[in-house]
Amino acid sequence: MARDTPAVEEPDDDEALSWGTERDTTHIEAPVDELEPEDDEPDGQQPEDPAGNSTLLVIYGVFAGVFLVYAVGWIIAVQSISIVDAGPLALILDRFAQFLAFLSPVIWFFGVLLLVPNTRARARILWLLLGVVTLAPWPFILGY
């Protein structure tokens, strides 16, 4: 008994030049099957939570504010530090160090946001907290 095997249709070259019919799923007016939501995200990542994202944005905003206040604190603290005259190169490097000191909170904030991936929010917050502790303008806060 010969089985009825479906004949393999040869691709019609002219079909590529046609607009297709309504049964064509790529047709804009064709009925579209509803996509079922995918349960398993790639790499085991949790699906994005809009509420979580806005909370994170608020947290980053608070950190940005804190670091901005720190930068102002450092500008005030650096002005009260006198530089001992020890040659032009040392003077330039000292000024550079002071400049970096008052920019340090801003550099840290943007550095952490750029270098720690968005998916690792907890790590980002921990690094930002480390910056809050270490980069505080202690000479200004302690009144030295």
Partner 1 sequence: MTDHHPTADHPSGDLPSGGRADPGRNLGIIVRGIIAVLFALLFAFYFYESVSQTLQLSSYLSTQNPLLKKVGHPHIAFPWIAIAPFLLLPFVTYGLAYLIGRRRTALVSIAIFVMALAVLSATSLTLESIASQLTRIV
Residues contributing to the site for partner 1 (CB under 8 A):
74, 77-78, 81, 86, 90, 93-94, 97-98, 100-101, 103-105, 107-108, 111, 114-115, 134-135, 137-139, 142, 144
| 103 touches 114 (CB < 8 A) | no
- Burial class from Cβ neighbours inside 10 Å (0-12, 13-18, 19+) for residue 61 reads exposed
| 105 touches 131 (CB < 8 A) | yes
Nearer to partner 1 (CB atom), residue 30 or residue 68: 68
Nearer to partner 1 (CB atom), residue 63 or residue 74: 74
Nearer to partner 1 (CB atom), residue 58 or residue 99: 99
CB of 136 to partner 1, least distance (A): 8
What single-letter amino acid sits at 122? R
CB of 56 to partner 1, least distance (A): 21
